[in-house]
């Protein structure tokens, strides 16, 4: 399956927030790697997807108490 890069604007804004979302994002099937650019004002979450859908990522963040909008 082809790797796809998904990007989201989030409210994950610090290392503590990243620690909070890590178990949720790590449970999403089809994510090979993800990072949050907390230095960017839009707190951009970049996901390397091998089958994970944008709604899977958004719902994982929502379950962790955060929001994400695909960009």
Query: Which domains occur in the chain, in start order?
Result: 4-70 (3.30.70.100)
Q: Is 47 a residue whose pLDDT tops 80?
A: yes
Longest dimension (CA), the chain: 33
* Percentage of the chain exceeding pLDDT 70: 99
Residue predicted with more confidence, 2 or 69:
69
Asked if the model's pLDDT at residue 26 lies above 90, the reply is: yes
pLDDT of residue 1: 58
Predicted TM-score (pTM) of this structure: 0.91
How much is the mean pLDDT over the chain?
A: 94
């Amino acid at each position: 399956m082809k790797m796809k890069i998904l990007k989201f604007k989030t409210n994950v804004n610090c290392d503590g927030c990243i620690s909070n979302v890590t178990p949720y994002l790590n449970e999403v099937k089809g994510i090979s790697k993800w990072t949050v650019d907390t230095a960017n004002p839009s707190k951009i979450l970049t996901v390397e997807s091998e089958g994970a859908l944008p709604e899977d990522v958004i719902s994982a963040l929502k379950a962790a108490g955060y929001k994400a909008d695909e960009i």
